[in-house]
């Protein structure tokens, strides 16, 4: 009997990349490959890369240098590069790194088994052409041995690509044009996932709430041509609108939580805002990137909204769902950003009182409109602004966390806490990390939905106590303390 060959995937970057790695793992499993325990016992290693900032891209180059030894230390080892750097660089990577066997871009996941097989015959290949058809979403159903998330969470792609062309962002060139997936397929995949035990689904798309907009526009133009007059717009609860999708998914019994990432402020309409107040399954958290609080900078970033329009949107969302947690992304040191612009950002952050934020120093990316702006902010100023912004956020986050001490929150259990000790960890509906201790006798298993009393707070997490007596609810899965977390429950496609 021939021993099956084993693969390992190392993933950098966003949720989109994590999910692409899952898709490729699934394709390889269907092709007869097995998952390795780590890169040490893998015959095929794939690096799934990120190029959102310069630093992420350079990490790949140093990683590839180190992997020369991995490749040479056993015969027949194959090395592939995927993701956004692969899409941008294509066969330049093959020329620059002789240890590399294949490169595939963000639209060519389905080619991986064939490229891996060709590599064994000594064929070095790069596939980066854009695929604008629906067949890119056409992937085999989940292989039985694909190790899922221990906490019973899954991503579901609803759209890919981006047509927004924010002036700082490389994504439109690495992910291509915006294309939405057929609604019925999204619902069918979600139903299958829930039937297999998934409790929480996160809908993925670069501008996820723009879902279906091009198809609706094309359909409207078609019906205008045909009828020579009235436009038959699809009703907003049809699954070809984003809110229609959320409502249809909310009908799936046993789906406990629904999230989406990342929306763009300009694609929030009344229906979506209302859904936040009406749909129980929809988690009370929105990650809504704002990037800057200065109108001048927002304009130069081509974000298509002002700081006040963003504030008004937050007010409308909070009117619909008062306890909504809002998190965001921010960039400091964008070309031309003055002290006054930065002060506007600090003001917006205070006004909105974000529960949390990710903030970054601007990094010029090749081919973007901002890369040719010459009024750069010097590194030390950008660094100082980043630190000031992060200090402010830390105090806001700590305040938001402290305000919740005494509350009982629902936690989807992930596993042992990163803080070590005997604590477990999970996330609550607001997407806050909750580290909690358990009683001596029993402890909740990953994937269990349990109730935890919040007893303390740090800027990074809520600290809680779980008590079995809280659980009058059959949804929670309890295991005896000391029972190991099942081996197959570890996450595979880690970062």
Contacts of 98 (CB under 8 A, 6+ apart): none
Q: Which is nearer to ligand SF4, 42 or 301 (CB)?
A: 301
Enumerate residues 6+ apart whose C-beta is below 8 A from 256: 199, 200, 281, 412, 449, 475
For 435, residues 6+ apart whose C-beta sits below 8 A from its C-beta are 417, 418, 419, 423, 424, 425, 461, 462, 463, 464
**In the set 28, 52, 82, 313, which binds ligand 5AD (CB under 6 A)?**
52
Secondary structure letter of residue 3 according to DSSP: P
Peptide bond before residue 262 is cis, with ω within 30 degrees of 0:
yes
Binding residue (CB under 6 A) for ligand 5AD from 9, 193, 331, 493: 331
Count of chain residues binding ligand 5AD (CB under 6 A): 12
Per CB under 6 A, 115 contacts ligand 5AD: no
Tokens of 328: 């965001």
Q: Tell me how far apart the alpha carbons of residues 427 and 409 are, in angstroms, rounded to a whole number.
A: 9
| Binding map of ligand 5AD across residues 366-405, x = CB under 6 A, - = no contact | ----------------------------------------
Give the burial string for 226-244 (b: 16+ CB within 10 Å, else e): eeeeeeeeeebebbbbbbb
Member of 80, 176, 263, 289 binding ligand 5AD (CB under 6 A): 289
The angle at the Cα of 215, spanning 223 to 167, to the nearest 5 degrees, equals 130
CB 310 within 8 A of CB 290: yes
Half-sphere exposure of 79 (CA within 13 A, CB side): 22
State the minimum distance, in angstroms, from the CB of residue 381 to ligand SF4.
23
Q: Identify what 164 binds: ligand SF4, ligand 5AD, none; CB under 5 to 8 Å per kind.
A: ligand SF4
Judged by beta carbon distances under 5 to 8 A according to partner kind, the member of ligand SF4, ligand 5AD, none in contact with residue 53 is ligand 5AD
Where would I find the H helices in 329-486? 339-352, 379-402
Footprint of ligand SF4 (CB under 6 A): 162, 164-166, 169, 171-172, 206-207, 264
Pick the binder of ligand 5AD from 12, 23, 365, 431 (CB under 6 A). 365
Please report how close the Cβ of residue 362 comes to ligand 5AD at its closest, in angstroms.
Answer: 5
Write out 445-482 in H/E/C secondary structure.
Answer: CCCCEEEEEEEEECCCCEEEEECHHHCCCCCCCEEECC
Q: Are 126 and 102 in contact (CB under 8 A)?
A: yes
Q: Choosing among ligand 5AD, ligand SF4, none, which partner's interface includes residue 321 (Cβ < 5 to 8 Å by kind)?
A: none
* Site string (165-184) toward ligand 5AD, x via CB under 6 A: ---xx---------------
Q: 132 vs 304, which CB is nearer to ligand 5AD?
A: 304
Nearest distance, CB of residue 11 and ligand 5AD, angstroms = 15
Q: Report the residue from 5, 10, 53, 285 that binds ligand 5AD according to the rule CB under 6 A.
A: 53
Interface segment toward ligand 5AD; rule CB under 6 A; list 87-95, 347-355, 362-370, 391-399: 362-370
In contact, 359 and 389? CB cutoff 8 Å = yes
By beta-carbon proximity to ligand 5AD, the closer residue of 265 and 289 is 289
What residue 393 binds from ligand 5AD, ligand SF4, none (CB within 5 to 8 A, per partner kind)?
Answer: none
Contact residues for ligand 5AD (CB under 6 A)?
52-53, 168-169, 289, 291, 329, 331, 360, 362-363, 365
């Amino acid at each position: 009997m021939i021993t099956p060959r084993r693969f390992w995937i190392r993933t950098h970057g966003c949720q989109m990349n994590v999910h692409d790695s899952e898709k490729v793992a699934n394709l390889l499993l269907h092709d007869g490959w097995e998952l390795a325990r780590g890169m040490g016992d893998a015959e095929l290693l794939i690096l799934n890369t990120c190029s959102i900032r310069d630093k992420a891209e350079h990490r790949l180059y140093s990683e590839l240098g180190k992997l020369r030894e991995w490749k040479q230390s056993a015969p027949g080892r194959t090395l592939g590069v995927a993701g956004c750097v692969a899409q941008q660089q294509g066969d330049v990577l093959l020329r620059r790194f002789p240890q590399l066997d294949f490169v595939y871009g963000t639209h060519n996941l389905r080619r991986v088994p064939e490229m891996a097989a060709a590599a064994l015959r000594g064929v070095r290949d790069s596939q980066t052409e854009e695929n604008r058809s629906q067949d890119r979403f056409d992937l085999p159903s989940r292989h039985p041995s694909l190790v899922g998330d221990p906490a019973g969470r899954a991503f579901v792609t609803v759209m890919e690509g981006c047509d927004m062309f924010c002036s700082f962002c490389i994504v439109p060139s690495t992910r291509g044009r915006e294309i939405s997936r057929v609604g019925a397929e999204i619902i069918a995949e979600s139903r299958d996932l829930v039937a297999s035990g998934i409790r929480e689904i996160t809908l993925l798309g670069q501008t996820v709430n723009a879902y279906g907009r091009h198809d609706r526009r094309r359909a409207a133009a078609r019906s205008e041509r045909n009828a020579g007059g009235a436009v038959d717009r699809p009703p907003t609860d049809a699954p070809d609108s984003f809110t229609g999708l959320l409502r249809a998914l909310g009908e799936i019994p046993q789906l406990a939580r629904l999230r989406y990432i990342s929306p763009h402020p300009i694609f929030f309409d009344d229906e979506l805002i209302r859904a936040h107040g009406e749909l129980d399954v929809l988690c009370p958290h929105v990650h809504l990137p704002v990037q800057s609080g200065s109108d001048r900078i927002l304009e130069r970033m081509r974000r298509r909204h002002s700081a006040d329009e963003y504030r008004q949107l937050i007010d409308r969302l909070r009117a619909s769902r008062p306890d909504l947690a809002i998190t965001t992304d921010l960039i400091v040191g964008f070309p031309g950003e003055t002290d006054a612009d930065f002060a506007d950002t600090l003001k917006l952050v205070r006004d909105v009182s974000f529960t949390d934020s990710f903030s970054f120093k601007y990094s010029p990316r090749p081919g973007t409109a901002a890369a040719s702006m010459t009024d750069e902010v010097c590194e030390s100023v950008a660094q100082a602004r980043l630190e000031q912004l992060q200090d402010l956020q830390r105090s806001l986050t700590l305040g938001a966390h402290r305000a919740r001490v005494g509350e009982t929150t629902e936690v989807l259990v992930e596993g042992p806490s990163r803080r070590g000790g005997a604590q477990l960890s999970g996330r609550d509906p607001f997407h806050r990390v909750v580290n909690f201790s358990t009683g001596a006798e029993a402890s909740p298993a990953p994937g269990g939905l349990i109730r935890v009393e919040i007893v303390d707070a740090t800027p990074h997490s809520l600290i809680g106590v779980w008590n079995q007596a809280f659980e009058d609810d059959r949804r929670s899965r309890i295991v005896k303390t000391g029972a190991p977390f099942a081996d197959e429950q570890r996450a595979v496609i880690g970062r």
